[in-house]
Amino acid sequence: QVQLVESGGGLVQAGGSLRLSCAASGRTFSSYAMGWFRQAPGKEREFVAGISSGGYRYYAASVQGRFTISRDNAENTVYLQMSTLKPEDTGVYYCAAARSAGTTPGSFEYWGQGTQVTVSS
């Protein structure tokens, strides 16, 4: 029912910045909580950042102070601004949507295909 398409991934040097975008379909976008997750090879998918339908933002401790999640309901788009990137931030980043805000993959109903982010030393 909801389609999510990520973009903006790429290669960046440590200490640099990158902005990811997630374009969502559907006319009820504003009612969903949105989140970003990431997954490195051989590791489980982990929560990165979330934003509720009311605009409340919350983050994983590992990215607190470096990443910022935002949403533009008029454009049905959620963003993840990543700054002072570290090599450990490398992974496939996924956009997800949920009816209620959460921090676990199981709480999110819809997922994008992911976009690769690689941070070099």
Residues 6+ apart with CB under 8 A from 2: 24, 25, 26, 29, 32, 97, 109, 110
The tens digit of pLDDT for each residue in 18-34 reads 999 999 997 788 999 99
1: pLDDT strictly greater than 90: no
Q: What is the mean pLDDT of the chain?
A: 96
pLDDT for position 60: 98
pLDDT for position 28: 81
Residues 6+ apart with CB under 8 A from 10: 18, 116, 117, 118
The tens digit of pLDDT for each residue in 26-69 reads 778 899 999 999 999 999 999 999 999 999 999 999 999 999 99
Residues 6+ apart with CB under 8 A from 83: 17, 66, 67, 68
